[in-house]
Amino acid sequence: MPSTGRLVLPLAVALLCACGSPSPSKTTSGTATEASDRIAAARLGRLLELAEGKEFYLVYEPGSSHVRLMYQGVTLQEFAVEQASVGVRRLLYIEHGAPKRWEDRIWDDGKLDPERKVERREIIPPDPADSEPEEVVIPPTPEEAIPSPDRFLVRFAGGLVVEIVGDFDDRADDGLLGWSFDRLSALVDEASSVLFRAETDEMRLRLVIDGQAAHRLYRSLPEPCRFAVHLSAPAG
């Protein structure tokens, strides 16, 4: 009678070869899914870190074309982005690369440029004993108290500059003179962004939003602030 012990080892080896080794296609698919999950988790982790902080922050979402002013996970203001572009530092026609993985990090210490200047007025109530009526002083509106530029920068530590450009469609109806003035203003802005860039600027993210919205953002953006890009989850 043949011994069964001789068949145990060959049979075990055959089972391992048949069932224990996944196919290359399944391995590749699993690795891609795991990588996608790690990226999505890291992006959500950045949002959680921002929400747990005590600073206001901006979040730009290219997928939905919106930029949001937020505080501890709550959206305070939301602005539709009409156009977005990225530029890098240029010196003697040589472009310097953008900071590594700039869209996968949180940027800190954002400050407005030009600096926000608030016009303060002291209003003294009239003396009740004075029989002579005094001129009524009307407090200035936010638009009057805080002059807002059509284009401004938010500079962050580490070299990122977020440029907010207001789009005013109504100016296109001003005729040739209005168009020429706006075009000249745009050319000056372009020149200043290239020729007069601060030494610490490494790259610039330009976001074009509605003109009145740009004014509101300039008046309301707290300093210092933080910034992050939130990309849509990659397809698995």
Report pLDDT digits (tens) over 65-79: 999 999 999 999 999
Mean pLDDT of 54-66: 94
Query: What is the structure's pLDDT at 51?
Result: 94
DSSP code string of 171-222: GGGSHHHHHHHHHHHHHHHHHHHHHS--TT--EEEEEEEEHHHHHHHHHH--
Task: Determine the residue type at 200.
Answer: T
Confidence of residue 13 (pLDDT cuts 50, 70, 90): very low
> What contacts 114, CB < 8 A, 6 or more positions away?
149, 152
Give me the pLDDT at residue 103, please.
84
What average pLDDT does range 133-143 have in this prediction? 67
Cα–Cα distance measured from residue 23 to residue 148, given in angstroms and rounded to the nearest whole number: 62
Average pLDDT in the chain: 74
Give tens-digit pLDDT for 168-196: 875 544 443 333 334 444 444 544 444 44
